[in-house]
Amino acid sequence: MTIEQKKQVYTQRIRSLRAKKIEETRKKIAYNGLTDEDDYNFLCPPEGYSWKPVGDSPNGDFHGYRGWSENYAAMLKSFPPVVDPENSMCGNFFRILQKFRKVRWHECWDLSPWQETIDRYGIDHGIGQIHHFCGDVRIGLNLGWDGIREKVRRYEAVNNETEEQREFYRAENVFLDACMDWMDRTVACVREKLAHETDPLLKENLAGMLAANEWVRHQPPRTLREACTFISWYNLFGRSFNREGCGGQLDELLRPYYEHDTALGLIDDEDAVYYISGLLMSDTKYYQLGGPDETGRDMVSPVSWLILEAADRMDVSLNLTIRVHDGLPRAFFRRGVELLFKHKNGWPRFSGDQSLVEGFMRRGFSRELAARRIAVGCNWMAIPGLEYPLNDSIKVNQARVFEVAYDEMMAGPERSTEKLLSLYVKHLRVVLKCIGETMDFDLNNNRYNDPELFLNLFMVGPIEKGRDASDHSVQYYNIGIDGAGLAVAANSFAALQQRVEQEKALTWDQVYASVQANYEDENGPYIQALMKHSGRFGQPGSLGNRWARRLTEVFRDEVVALKSREVSVYIPGMFSWSKTILFGRQVGATPDGRKAFEPVNHGANPMPGDVRSGAMTDMSEAIILAQCGMGNTSPFQMELDPGMIDMEDGIDKVMALLETHLKRGGTLINVNIVDADKIRAAHKNPELYPDLVVRVTGFTAYFITLTPAFRQLVVDRLMES
Amino acid sequence: MKNMTGIITEIQRFSLHDGDGIRTTVFLKGCNMRCSWCHNPETLEMKPQEAWYPAKCIHCGHCKTGCPAQARVTIGREMTPEEALHEVLWDRDYYAASGGGVTVSGGEPFLQADFLKAFLTLCKENGLRTAAETNLSLPWAVIAPCLPLLSHVYFDIKLLDDAAHRKWTGVSNRTVLENAANLAASGIPFTARTPLIPGVTDGEDNIRGIAAFLASVRENCRYELLNYNALAESKYEPIGLTYALPGTRPLPVSRLRELAAAAASEGTQCRFSRG
């Protein structure tokens, strides 16, 4: 085949895989119902499929090394092998074991020391948090599955003093046995399909698939196809086990194999695109592209371009982040922006190297280590293999902290925004103390609940020490704590200061009475309008902006000051994830004019409607004020008009916008290109738009898979801009 | 000079259609023309004025102390050149990254020539690139002093026929054409524009005539055809005006292409915007 013919064949196959994926999304909704999550590319179980885990506690949940390993092994056995002759990779799964769990923690645990505080403030606390750290897939690429097995056995022989250690290794062996058995059954299926395939081109593909899988089943990969095959299985194991979703620096992971293959003339770029598209199709994992390595050299290589090329041809939900810094090739940055507008799928997004590195260094780490802390999650960074941050898991509802403080102040004689701030800080400390204590509990107990049997294999420490990653075996425990609802709290402070203290248009009691009545008392609409139209977060030079900065500094300082028995480094960020609705439901009416139980703001963004000009630069300025500057993110959820690139220099303008935000202190930008008509139509008839991908928050998802409440929230946000 | 102020309708950050790069557009209030299709009717009057949005009214009865729901708002504010500069400097990093800057628009910005000159001088002192959008209908003596402070001028020639120009804008086009020739002679970069108003300015003869005139004053000059924008209609009622062209729709892209080709054939670099 000429390279042109090959391109045609591969592109046709990728299109076909895309069509099947979209159809599968439809089926999954019918089977699993709606979700507010990523699309993980798994399949609908076959008809009659009915596997259920075996529980070990009264509510039927399973726990610990034994519960997870044995149930995982049983679940994998229930999966029929999946081989699609059009795909360059094989294997897929039907259920995620973690999703069978009813409660995040062990129901028999006594949470009473913290329960009242958790309930009072609606804390997303530390107990029972899982994954949200990044394995170093290089460990596996270097060892291969047999090498990993050998490593487990080697350390099993050394660390065998306690029953807990023996149980740990036993579970890891059961886990590996189950994974290898799944691979073996899939390889057998490939062999069988190969025997029966009559199309010569598909037969050739199946033969390549078989050879790659047979090799990778035991040995470290040598070629690009083998490396993609290894990582594809890595993705399937992690995701099907506990929903683990970190990828890594994909261009650098694959570069040595691509260089090997091309030097030997084994593949051309069309083959590379085809293999990479199979890998990307295996999971919506979070991958970073480009950015400086530890020496400052930019990591964009021909492989980075091929990844974008594969993503372009696939046009599906993906999570790719381009790390922006001065050394990033302009052409690569430009291509990323072009694809963002071309497909309107919310990828790639863009992280700011300078702010992230300087922030992490401010928290006491070296520049080299900071450079290794890459985008591997929804809104977050981690050092693959070395760091256990639980990022994007633990969250403080700042709107609720405000509400508790406000109620306390109004019950006493002294009323002022300074008094309110002192009470806000007091209650924030109560929340953080609770988080510290629950983290200590978690790090001492979570191995009995949700052990990290998959990620342990790809971290430095757990296997070597015979201890779970959640059990002090990893090098860095830098626990992330995110604030959420900043805009509600900041606007409430600002509205009280402006209307009550400065203008004296209302009294403390008048506002409080109306807030308590959810603005439905006689003067409610007037008071609500007055409070709502005060100087808001998102308006340049406003009191809202000033309070947002002040509250961000308070949050940053309190989180940095937090120390608990097991954790000496906590890192602040500002991100709600998709919990804007949930956090809103925890909070009654607030003095910013928000009615009871309405959603809080998304991430670090102002409340919808508050950037009255709609100017992205106003929005950017506000979100920079919400940066904690310690290495974790306060992402900018940016909505742009697709018409922007109709202008002669439209792409340049977008690049300047992104780059300037990141240079001014921004950390991460998630972009949605708003095709307003399509989204409006899809909101009315979602089932007619099964291929519409939107960036929900830090992740992308098919619009059709979102719950109606969440669809509405996405639509409101998008329509505003 | 110290206490000089201008009346500003609005300062719009992240402006993408008023020149190169990312810009801030300063809309000055007041215009000497009365174009029937005016896209910014809130800028016609020089003085600040009230706008009324009844749908936002919550019937609280507090109108006299300032509408809390912003159903009744004042359009226009008095600012010193320094205050205006302070606001436009907010986005200077974006101008630098994108090759953008500040655009003064209106209304007709040269109606406030002293303020304009003072403001543009401050912009220049602060290293900002500047552009002006003008109808070019004021005397050259008013316009010329500001030209050294501008990097680019955008001006409109709406109709070549003077009688039609008077009918639809209330003003003769004689000064506009003279000033366009002066501008061309001055060497300053400019872009001429024609808003395409169906049934008024979108005749091929009009476009060809304007293009030929432009080519006669500057060879191969930049010329933009701006498609009709129907959004203006909703701006009239809140300020107590009646829109003269209700229900008018933008031209199809095929027609825009035809007109742009005709203008190009007369010797201009013509582009169009879809509106």
The interface residues of chain A toward chain B in range 613-632, judged by CB-CB distance below 8 A, are: 613-618, 621
B25 has which bridge partners? B12, B103
Q: How sure is the predictor about A451, in pLDDT bands with cuts at 50, 70 and 90?
A: very high
The answer to whether the CB atoms of A617 and B60 lie below 8 A apart is no
Q: How sure is the predictor about A150, in pLDDT bands with cuts at 50, 70 and 90?
A: very high
Q: How sure is the predictor about A547, in pLDDT bands with cuts at 50, 70 and 90?
A: very high
> Do the beta carbons of residue B192 and residue B173 sit within 8 Å?
no
Peptide bond into B107 cis (omega under 30): yes
The C-alpha atoms of residue A73 and residue A81 are separated, in whole angstroms, by: 14
- Number of helices followed by number of strands (H, E) in chain B: 8, 11
Widest CA span in chain B: 61
CA closest to A659 among chain B residues: B97
The whole-number average pLDDT for the span B91-119 is: 97
The answer to whether the CB atoms of B14 and A647 lie below 8 A apart is no
Q: How sure is the predictor about A707, in pLDDT bands with cuts at 50, 70 and 90?
A: confident
pLDDT the model gives residue A712: 81
Q: Answer yes or no: is pLDDT of A705 > 90.
A: no
Q: Answer yes or no: is pLDDT of A175 > 90.
A: yes
Tell me which residue of A126, A180, A124 sits closest to A149, measured CA to CA.
Answer: A180
Strand, coil or helix: what is A587?
coil
Residue pLDDT, tens place only, A58-90: 999 999 999 999 999 999 999 999 999 999 999
Interface test with A, best of B60, B79, B253 (most A CBs within 10 A): B60
Alpha-carbon distance A18 to nearest alpha carbon in chain B (angstroms) = 33
Q: Please identify which residue in the block is written with the tokens 């959603």.
A: A599
CB nearest B97 (choices: A540, A616, A659): A659
CA B106 to chain centre: 5
Q: Please say whether the structural domain B6-273 has been given the CATH code 1.10.3720.10.
A: no
Tokens of A378: 């929804």
pLDDT the model gives residue A233: 98
Tell me which residue of A345, A390, A356 sits closest to A244, measured CA to CA.
Answer: A390
pLDDT the model gives residue A350: 98
Share of chain B above pLDDT 90, in %: 91
First to last CA, chain A: 48
Q: How many residues does chain A have?
A: 721
Residue pLDDT, tens place only, B131-145: 999 999 999 999 999
The answer to whether the CB atoms of A664 and B274 lie below 8 A apart is no
Q: Answer yes or no: is pLDDT of B2 > 60.
A: no
**Within 10 Å of residue A595's Cβ, how many Cβ atoms?**
15
> Which uninterrupted H or E stretch holds B209?
helix B204-217
Strand, coil or helix: what is A701?
strand
Alpha-carbon distance B139 to nearest alpha carbon in chain A (angstroms) = 33
**Within 10 Å of residue B56's Cβ, how many Cβ atoms?**
13
> Do the beta carbons of residue A93 and residue A240 sit within 8 Å?
yes
What are the chain A neighbours of B227 within 8 Å (beta carbons)? none
The C-alpha atoms of residue A423 and residue A408 are separated, in whole angstroms, by: 8
Tokens of A452: 């990290």
The whole-number average pLDDT for the span B241-257 is: 93
The answer to whether the CB atoms of B58 and A617 lie below 8 A apart is no
A614 has which bridge partners? none
A66 touching B (Cβ < 8 Å) = no
Q: Answer yes or no: is pLDDT of A625 > 60.
A: yes
Question: Between residues A644 and A235, which one has the greater pLDDT?
Answer: A235
**Mean predicted lDDT score pLDDT of chain A:** 94
Q: Answer yes or no: is pLDDT of B241 > 60.
A: yes
The whole-number average pLDDT for the span A306-311 is: 98
The answer to whether the CB atoms of A656 and B98 lie below 8 A apart is yes
The whole-number average pLDDT for the span B120-124 is: 98
Residue B184's contacts (CB-CB under 8 Å, 6 or more residues apart) are B190, B217, B218, B221
Residue pLDDT, tens place only, A593-617: 999 999 999 989 999 889 877 789 9
> Do the beta carbons of residue A55 and residue A61 sit within 8 Å?
yes
DSSP for residue A607? P
pLDDT the model gives residue B228: 93
The C-alpha atoms of residue A66 and residue A55 are separated, in whole angstroms, by: 11
pLDDT the model gives residue A720: 58
> Do the beta carbons of residue A486 and residue A548 sit within 8 Å?
yes
Alpha-carbon distance A657 to nearest alpha carbon in chain B (angstroms) = 7
Q: Answer yes or no: is pLDDT of A688 > 90.
A: no
pLDDT the model gives residue A697: 67
What are the chain B neighbours of A506 within 8 Å (beta carbons)? none
**Within 10 Å of residue B238's Cβ, how many Cβ atoms?**
19
The C-alpha atoms of residue A394 and residue A380 are separated, in whole angstroms, by: 12
Strand, coil or helix: what is A615?
coil
> Do the beta carbons of residue A252 and residue A292 sit within 8 Å?
no
Share of chain A above pLDDT 90, in %: 85
Given the DSSP bridges, would you call strands B190-196 and B152-156 parallel, antiparallel or unpaired? parallel
The C-alpha atoms of residue A245 and residue A377 are separated, in whole angstroms, by: 7
**Mean predicted lDDT score pLDDT of chain B:** 95
Look up the ipTM and state it.
Answer: 0.92
Alpha-carbon distance B120 to nearest alpha carbon in chain A (angstroms) = 22
The C-alpha atoms of residue B183 and residue A11 are separated, in whole angstroms, by: 54
Q: Answer yes or no: is pLDDT of A690 > 80.
A: no
The C-alpha atoms of residue A406 and residue A531 are separated, in whole angstroms, by: 15
What are the chain A neighbours of B94 within 8 Å (beta carbons)? 617, 656-657, 660
The C-alpha atoms of residue B154 and residue A687 are separated, in whole angstroms, by: 47
pLDDT the model gives residue A25: 83
Widest CA span in chain A: 85
- Whole-structure pTM value: 0.94
> Do the beta carbons of residue A330 and residue A368 sit within 8 Å?
no
CA closest to A644 among chain B residues: B16
DSSP string, A56-123: SSTTS---HHHHHHHHHHHHHHHSPP---TTSSS----S--GGGG-SSSS-TTS--HHHHHHHHHHT-
Burial class (CB in 10 A: 0-12, 13-18, 19+), A2: exposed
Alpha-carbon distance A530 to nearest alpha carbon in chain B (angstroms) = 5
> Which uninterrupted H or E stretch holds B65?
none
Tokens of A307: 């990844």
Alpha-carbon distance A618 to nearest alpha carbon in chain B (angstroms) = 7
The C-alpha atoms of residue A660 and residue A620 are separated, in whole angstroms, by: 9
Given the DSSP bridges, would you call strands B269-273 and B23-28 parallel, antiparallel or unpaired? unpaired
A656 touching B (Cβ < 8 Å) = yes
The C-alpha atoms of residue B17 and residue A643 are separated, in whole angstroms, by: 11
DSSP for residue A499? I
Interface test with A, best of B93, B95, B272 (most A CBs within 10 A): B93
The C-alpha atoms of residue A554 and residue A283 are separated, in whole angstroms, by: 38
Burial class (CB in 10 A: 0-12, 13-18, 19+), B240: exposed
Q: Please identify which residue in the block is written with the tokens 């055809």.
A: B225
The C-alpha atoms of residue A651 and residue A334 are separated, in whole angstroms, by: 7
Tokens of A371: 């450079």
Residue A701's contacts (CB-CB under 8 Å, 6 or more residues apart) are A35, A36, A37, A38, A39, A317, A693, A694
The whole-number average pLDDT for the span A121-131 is: 96
Backbone phi, then psi, for B240, in 5-degree steps? 75, 25
DSSP for residue A467? -
A344 φψ region: left (φ > 0), alpha (ψ -120 to 50), beta (else):
left
Interface test with A, best of B9, B16, B227, B270 (most A CBs within 10 A): B16
Tell me which residue of A495, A438, A447 sits closest to A474, measured CA to CA.
Answer: A447
Alpha-carbon distance A640 to nearest alpha carbon in chain B (angstroms) = 12
Chain B: which residues have CB within 8 Å of chain A?
12-14, 16-17, 20-22, 58, 60, 62, 65, 68-70, 87, 90-91, 93-94, 97-100, 271, 274
Peptide bond into A200 cis (omega under 30): no
Burial class (CB in 10 A: 0-12, 13-18, 19+), A30: exposed
Tell me which residue of A302, A211, A326 sits closest to A252, measured CA to CA.
Answer: A302
The whole-number average pLDDT for the span A388-402 is: 97
